[in-house]
Amino acid sequence: MSATVTDEQIRALAATAKPYSLAFLRWGPERTMDGADAIELEHQRRMVSLRAEGVIAILCPVASDTVAGVAIMTVSTEEAAAIMAADPCVRAGMMRCEVHPCHGFPGDALPA
């Protein structure tokens, strides 16, 4: 680490934190069920639509045999949990979802 960060900078940044919800998706036991490809395509369409609507701020599919993806959502944890419970892959048992409260800072973004 070459950047020096002062205590004042940390406090100032912490004061700008905004609440978000983190949806953590893991592959479930029905990942390879009959019709899984079509269900996963509907899941992808839904997640990209939620991103386009601003409900998902950051969408990160994960290339893993255990983790399916992560989404930072702009809604409360209760609303995020309800949204994710209605997901086609979650309903089919292909994925399991945990939703956790988290915080982010103005200006945070993935590099282009």
What pLDDT does 1 receive? 67
pTM over 0.85: yes
**Range 43-82 burial, b when 16+ CB lie within 10 A, else e:** beebbeebeeeebbbbbeeeeeeeebbebbbbbebeebbe
Chain segment 9-49, per-residue pLDDT in tens = 999 999 999 999 999 999 999 999 999 999 999 999 999 99
- Residue 57 pLDDT level (bands cut at 50, 70, 90): very high
Terminal Cα distance for the chain, rounded: 23
What pLDDT does 2 receive? 79
Compute the average pLDDT of residues 53-78: 97
